[in-house]
Chain A
Amino acid sequence: MHVQVFQDGSIGLRGINPFLFDLLREIVRCGASGDPRVEARFYPPPVEEGDLSDLREDWKSLVQPELQAAFQQARDVVQADLRNATETEDGCAFQIAPHHADAWMSALNQARLALAGENHFTEADLSADVPSAVGGPTERALLQMHFYAFLQDWLVQMAD
């Protein structure tokens, strides 16, 4: 996979093999996980346990819908960018416009948090080396986490 930055700030990714392109397509699915552990992580309370129950309730009814909409909007942008991907001899290619970078960072973060929640990954799991082979769903999810982290970190560096 090759990454190129164009003069207008767009990011071009090309030569993406089918396996990695599948992982990219899964960003949207991961973020839309309805798993209660993932929901709890996406919408944490604004106060620690036992504090200000009225604020907790207000947060749930007023802030949570706004967050849901913002997260969905970010995933929609990613899905649209991937839908515009083209197939070339050396793999798939697509571009991320500069004003889509924040949506990508959000969607990648959503996907990583969802994968970590669904697979109960610990800090030790995430600090371990990237799996060299995909032997099962856990290794695949770990590889996915690392791939998304690489892209997200790269977008953060670009935004700096």
Chain B
Amino acid sequence: MPRKMPTIETPETETREKISLDAPWNVVVHNDPVNLMSYVAMVFRRVFGFPRERAEKHMLEVHHRGRSVVWTGSREKAELYVQQLHTHLLLATIEKPPPA
């Protein structure tokens, strides 16, 4: 019985690594004193397809708290969203969410 233990441990390690690689990334928008609030909300609606209320909620979060996580998902898609936000001259970054 103890001799079978190592064969069980190996797949468990592989599973943990896969979860780590596929971990979601956040798209964060940072506050900027120059960008107009109406413009930022419009960009959120255009880039993410947010309804008006959700776009304004994130815009206000950026304004009051200095940052807002506007999207979470795969790294590839997160990078594409950041590029779109930079095209609209918004300050945006990708980041790994802190471990739960």
Contact = CB atoms under 8 A, between A and B. Distances in A.
A109 interface: yes
Contact of A67 (B35, B86, B91): B86
Contacts of B39: 105, 109, 152-153, 156
Interface residues of A, number: 31
B89 interface: yes
A152 B34 CA distance: 12
B94 interface: yes
A106 B89 contact: yes
Contacts of A121: 33-34
Interface residues of B, number: 19
A45 B93 contact: yes
A157 B33 contact: no
B13 interface: no
Interface in A37-79: 42-48, 51, 55, 63, 66-67, 70
A14 interface: no
Given A105-B39, A160-B42, A113 B34 contact: yes
A123 interface: yes
B95 A112 contact: no
Does more than half of chain B's interface fall in helix, strand or loop, or is it mixed? mixed
A27 B44 CA distance: 24
Contacts of A43: 86
Interface in B48-100: 79, 82-83, 86-89, 91-95
A159 interface: yes
Contacts of B88: 106, 109
A149 interface: yes
B10 interface: no
Most buried by B among A113, A126, A156: A156
A110 interface: yes
Contact of A47 (B33, B86, B93): B93
A152 B42 CA distance: 12
B7 interface: no
18 contacts: A43-B86, A46-B92, A47-B94, A48-B93, A55-B79, A63-B86, A66-B83, A67-B86, A105-B39, A106-B89, A113-B89, A116-B33, A121-B34, A122-B33, A152-B39, A153-B38, A156-B36, A157-B38
